[in-house]
Chain A
């Protein structure tokens, strides 16, 4: 069974500091994709970053990076230099070879000025 686990229901970070949001996954597939999405209070889902299971380098997109540890089945999101606009829900997701996406339960991030 495929499963995504986000163990941090809520996180706080000081503005301009870095924060790591945890994500572990469980799959028997050899090929899969890992994604992070942001959901601000307005409700839309915004794609942030992607990591392929065979990618050897950690993905980076601006202030977002993905700390991918395949053997531990973890795909943590690192946000550097937090901004007030980063306050939102963050979801980790996995796409399997059957084209299904599985989402975690999310982490609510609050950036404190």
Chain B
């Protein structure tokens, strides 16, 4: 099992550019989520999905879109990149239910200039 994979590992964007961060998992997990990690702020939930075709907003959804057409994939789209979106982005997946931990991808370090 590859677990949770994310691409790319690093990305530099100019302000106003758009891009998609890819996330895939091979554990048949229904729950997937995207976080951003900024210094001193922990991980903040951007969007999450409880199954294919179902997505919902987390704490900091502005400027990001998601879709979930398959169980395996959960891409995150930056519509018009801003310097405030410079961060490390983590994708995670888990089985539904309170007792299940999340499995995290390795992260994508994004810099917006």
A residues sitting closer than 8 Å to B (CB atoms) are 4, 6, 9, 31-33, 35, 43-45, 47, 50, 52-53, 91, 93, 95-97, 99-106
Contact = CB atoms under 8 A, between A and B. Distances in A.
B43 interface: yes
Given A45-B90, A45-B104, A100-B48, A95 B42 contact: no
A97 B97 CA distance: 8
If over half of A's interface residues share one DSSP class (helix, strand or loop), that class is named, otherwise mixed; here it is loop
A44 B106 contact: yes
27 contacts: A4-B42, A6-B42, A32-B98, A33-B99, A33-B100, A43-B106, A43-B107, A45-B104, A47-B102, A91-B42, A91-B43, A95-B98, A96-B98, A97-B98, A99-B31, A99-B48, A99-B50, A100-B45, A100-B58, A101-B33, A101-B92, A101-B102, A102-B45, A103-B43, A103-B44, A104-B42, A105-B42
A50 B94 CA distance: 14
Q: Which size class do B's interface residues fall under?
A: 20 to 34
Contacts of A53: 98
Nearest to B40: A105
Given A43-B88, A105-B41, A99 B104 contact: no
Contacts of A100: 45, 48, 58
B96 interface: yes
B26 interface: no
A99 B98 CA distance: 7
